[in-house]
């Protein structure tokens, strides 16, 4: 019996170690977020410890020499799951048959540049990349947009890839979600995993609405609503919200560089939840396509909602009570997204 069990175990192990590699592309791969991100992906933190990976690094032509350095470092990590690393500046190579796309690459804001000009430069990149995804990627590809303005870039990429389901596209608001979670945890003197079900609504910008009306805090064994645990409504409705909204700017001011380590961690959290699902009874935040006017959010936006994920499919958490204070904030961030979308669509003609 023991021998039979042992040989079955060895067989299962052999099969699992022979799993087909998945192809994952990271754009902006020579940039600072990618530098913090690639190691975690390559060592199995996102797609699983038994999932071999072909990692494709896409950036623009002047960055190819830098990519060579990143490739050497990945090789030098001697990671068993990493089957191949492909550096490229061509979308037809970068997006060929991919299973997951993490679109970080974008144009940074230059001095004196208007917000609208930055938006136009970036949505043009995401139009091209959306069209390339449509042409070259698997139809099951999961696309995560990180490059800013992340929501509108994601919308444009999705509109430019009509053969890929809109549900396969999402944008990163997990960093904001993690920031909100951590702020509440620090305030209550508990670890971040003692706080669950915070929500980021709307745009990944300073109009986003970090909402803890449905969050729960485990205060040393007793679970309480966040408002009861924090016991400071003024802070929760004031400084807490502005701290999360302005956190990116605060990091830039202090570090003279934008958030990279925390952004990379959030990307891993987001993609891992898509791949393996959210824990039972918990939800997370991500920018997804609004098709149903849920919570009064206009259709045809990429808007951050509370979601639960199962079998690689998200579902908006519905039926949460939204008070007037919250509703006005949901509406304000939607208004900004409508303006961004209309500017982008008029400019690109998509």
Contact (CB, 8 A) for 149 and 301: no
The distance of closest approach from Cβ of residue 131 to ligand NAX in the complex, given in angstroms and rounded to an integer, is 13
Between 30 and 195, whose beta carbon lies closer to ligand NAX?
A: 30
Distance CA 253, CA 262 (A): 16
Task: Give the separation between CA 38 and CA 176, rounded to whole angstroms.
Answer: 21
What angle is formed at CA 206 by the lines to CA 203 and CA 208, rounded to 5 degrees?
A: 40
Q: Minimal distance in Å, beta carbon 330 to ligand NAX?
A: 19
Task: State which residue, 155 or 229, has the beta carbon closest to ligand NAX.
Answer: 155
Residues identified as active-site: 204
To which H or E segment does residue 66 belong? helix 64-76
Phi, psi for 178 (deg, rounded to 5): -65, -40
SS percent in the chain: helix, strand, coil, step 5: 50, 20, 35
CB of 33 to ligand NAX, least distance (A): 3
Q: How far is the CB of 298 from ligand NAX (least distance, A)?
A: 21
CB-closest chain residue to ligand NAX: 31
Choice between 27 and 326, CB closer to ligand NAX: 27
Length of the chain in residues, anyone?
Answer: 350
**DSSP strand pairing (195-196 vs 216-219):** antiparallel
Residue closer to ligand NAX by CB (options 260, 320) is 260
Residue written as token pair 């600072």: 32
Q: Which is nearer to ligand NAX, 51 or 243 (CB)?
A: 243
Token couple for 325: 């204070």
Neighbours of 265 (CB within 10 A): 18
Q: How far is the CB of 176 from ligand NAX (least distance, A)?
A: 7
Contacts of 269 (CB under 8 A, 6+ apart): 174, 178, 284
Residues in the site for ligand NAX, rule: CB under 6 A? Answer: 27-28, 30-34, 58-60, 63, 104-108, 125, 146-148, 150, 172, 175, 204, 248, 258-260, 263
Q: Among residues 261 and 320, whose Cβ is nearest to ligand NAX?
A: 261
Residue 73 CB, nearest approach to ligand NAX (Å): 15
Say how many CA atoms lie within 13 Å of 12 toward its Cβ.
6
Token digits for 88? 């490229």
């Amino acid at each position: 019996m023991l021998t039979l069990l042992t040989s079955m175990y060895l067989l299962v192990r052999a099969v699992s170690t022979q799993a087909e590699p998945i192809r994952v592309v990271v754009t902006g791969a020579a940039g600072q977020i990618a530098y913090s991100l690639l190691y975690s992906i390559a060592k199995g933190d996102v797609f699983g410890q038994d999932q071999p990976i072909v990692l494709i690094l896409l950036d623009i032509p002047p960055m190819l020499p830098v990519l060579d350095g990143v490739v050497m470092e990945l090789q030098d990590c001697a990671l068993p799951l990493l089957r191949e690393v492909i550096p490229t500046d061509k979308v037809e190579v970068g997006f060929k048959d991919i299973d997951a796309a993490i679109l970080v690459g974008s144009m940074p804001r230059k001095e004196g540049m208007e917000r609208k000009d930055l938006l136009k430069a970036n949505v043009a990149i995401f139009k091209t990349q959306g069209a390339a995804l449509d042409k070259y990627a698997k139809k099951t590809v999961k696309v995560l947009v990180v490059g800013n303005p992340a929501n509108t870039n994601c919308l444009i990429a999705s509109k430019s890839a009509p053969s890929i389901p809109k549900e396969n596209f999402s944008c990163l608001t997990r960093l904001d979600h993690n920031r909100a979670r951590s702020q509440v945890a620090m305030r209550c003197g508990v670890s971040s995993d003692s706080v669950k079900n915070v929500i980021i609504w709307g745009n990944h910008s300073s109009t986003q609405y970090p909402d803890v009306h449905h969050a729960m805090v485990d205060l040393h064994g007793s679970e309480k609503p966040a408002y009861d645990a924090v016991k400071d409504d003024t802070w929760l409705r004031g400084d807490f919200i502005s701290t999360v909204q302005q956190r990116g700017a605060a990091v830039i001011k202090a570090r003279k560089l934008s958030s990279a380590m925390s952004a990379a961690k959030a990307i891993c959290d987001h993609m891992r939840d898509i791949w393996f699902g959210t824990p039972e009874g918990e939800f997370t935040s991500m920018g997804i396509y609004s098709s149903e006017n849920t919570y009064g959010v206009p259709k045809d936006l990429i808007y951050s909602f509370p979601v639960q994920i199962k079998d690689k499919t998200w579902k908006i958490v519905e039926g949460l009570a939204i008070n007037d204070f919250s509703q006005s904030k949901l509406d304000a961030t939607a208004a900004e997204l409508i303006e961004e979308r209309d500017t982008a669509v008029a400019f690109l003609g998509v």
